[in-house]
A and B are shown apart, each in its own frame.
Chain A
């Protein structure tokens, strides 16, 4: 099955700086890559996703890039704010499959 690795496991940045979280996947048949944000005590919430026919997608301060050849994708958060502090999970889904394979999460702390 698919194996998703996520780095780093923890990340601290100063407010206003950028944060980058990277994930790799193993199955070239994966074609859908969502990112979830989970605040302390809350549910994981979808913040952005990308499909394999697209190399980059942006939504305000958040962007995701995908390199199908290298089988990795990244989350970029610019102009970070304290409310961006949370655990972020990447995931991959194989074509025609419903199951998500989640990374192990990155705990992001934005220091005011």
Chain B
């Protein structure tokens, strides 16, 4: 099993540009989570999906952030337009049934200049 796959691993962009982060969950997992990690705010849940349906997006900072899961094997997190305060490590995680472990991808390190 390849585990959770994220791309790109690093992204440097300029303020105002659109950023798209990608995630492939572990095959067979029906839940997918997007987290953001910074020194100041720790690990924050942005949004999660169950069976490709968004369940809770209350953690999404503002309308500049959007996430989709068009099928069971792919999800995107988009920031448009990006701002320097969006600089962080973005993790995708997937999990199986409720009450089971989540497995994290390697993360995308985003730097917005």
Q: Is the CB of B101 within 8 A of A34?
A: yes
Contact call A98/B104, Cβ cutoff below 8 A: no
A residues 69-112 with Cβ under 8 Å of B? Answer: 89, 93, 95-100, 102, 104-105
What mask results when residues 33 to 61 of chain A are scored 1 for a CB within 8 Å of chain B, else 0?
01010000011111001010000000000
A49 touches B101 (CB 8 A): yes
Across the interface, which residues of B come within 8 angstroms of A99, CB to CB? 33, 45, 48, 55-56
Set of chain B residues within 8 Å of A89, measured between Cβ atoms: 43
Bound-state CA distance A9–B49 (Å) is: 30
Q: Which 10 A-B pairs have the closest CB atoms?
A: A43-B104, A32-B99, A98-B31, A46-B101, A44-B104, A96-B98, A102-B43, A98-B98, A104-B42, A43-B106
Distance, CA A31 to CA B55, complexed state (A): 20
On chain A, the number of residues with a Cβ less than 8 Å from chain B's Cβ atoms is 22
CA distance A25 to B11 in the complex (A): 36
Instruction: Give the chain A neighbours of B98 by CB distance below 8 A.
Output: 93, 95-98
Are A43's CB and B50's CB within 8 A? Answer: no
Binding site for B on A (CB under 8 A): 31-32, 34, 36, 42-46, 49, 51, 89, 93, 95-100, 102, 104-105
What 13 new A-B contacts, CB under 8 Å, besides A98-B48, A99-B45? Answer: A32-B99, A36-B104, A43-B104, A43-B105, A43-B107, A46-B103, A49-B101, A51-B99, A93-B98, A93-B99, A95-B99, A96-B99, A99-B33
Contact B104 A45 (CB under 8 A): yes
- Could you tell me the distance between the alpha carbons of A102 and B101 in the complex, rounded to whole angstroms? 13
A100 / chain B contacts, CB cutoff of 8 Å: 33, 45, 102
Q: List chain A residues, Cβ under 8 A from B45.
A: 99-100, 102
Q: Which residues of B contact A45 (CB under 8 A)?
A: 104
